[in-house]
């Protein structure tokens, strides 16, 4: 329920990066459940298909972090990387399957909390600034636009205008 609620909230109120993150997480969640072994043998060794799915989700979030102006995708990518690497604990013969399974699952709650906070912050920036550029190529254009505007202090106008040069 928490997973579905977070996904609906981010799809409804989030910007494009938040929506893409929801799609990545939902695909990872669904594919992981399709690939899990039957309950009896689950997490008794490395779940290779789930490891591959989690690694692909990590790559998706990492690429998102490279393209967006937001900082949270790199945190999500780092957490997803921990999820993927946690599957390698199954290489040890002495790992208790329940502990291995819980170790993998607990990270998903961290991902959802990051996504909730990211969506709330997106809404806050929109309310405050009426704009929240999502992509690095958009923010570069906005930055160039604001730099072309003359935003100097009034005292600087007088010093640089014709006829008001500094007598020194």
Number of structural domains (the chain) is 1
Q: Considering Cα of 53, then 59, then 61, then 64, what sign does the dihedral take?
A: negative
Instruction: Determine the 3-state secondary structure of 113 from DSSP.
Output: helix
The pTM for the full model equals 0.77
Give, for all 168 residues of the chain, the pLDDT tens digit.
Answer: 888 999 999 999 999 999 999 999 999 999 988 887 676 676 777 888 989 999 999 999 999 999 999 999 999 999 999 999 988 888 887 878 788 878 888 899 999 999 999 999 999 999 999 988 889 886 655 555 555 554 545 555 444 445 555 455
Give me the residues paired with residue 68 across strands: 135
Does 163 reside within a domain?
A: no
159 lies in some domain:
no
Residue 18, domain extent:
2-146
């Amino acid at each position: 329920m928490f997973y579905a609620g977070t996904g609906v909230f981010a799809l409804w109120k989030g910007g494009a990066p938040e929506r893409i993150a929801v799609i990545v997480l939902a695909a990872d969640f669904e594919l992981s459940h399709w690939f899990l072994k039957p309950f009896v043998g689950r997490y008794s060794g490395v779940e290779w298909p789930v490891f591959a799915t989690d690694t692909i989700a990590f790559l998706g979030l990492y690429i998102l972090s490279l393209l967006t102006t937001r900082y949270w995708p790199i945190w999500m990518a780092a957490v997803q990387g921990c999820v993927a690497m946690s599957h390698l604990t199954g290489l040890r013969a002495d790992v208790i399957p329940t502990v291995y399974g819980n170790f993998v699952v607990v990270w998903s709650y961290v991902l959802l909390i990051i996504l909730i906070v990211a969506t709330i912050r997106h809404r806050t920036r929109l309310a405050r600034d009426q704009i929240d550029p999502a992509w690095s190529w958009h923010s570069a254009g906005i930055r160039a636009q604001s730099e072309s505007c003359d935003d100097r202090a009034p005292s600087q106008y007088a010093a640089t205008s014709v006829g008001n040069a500094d007598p020194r």
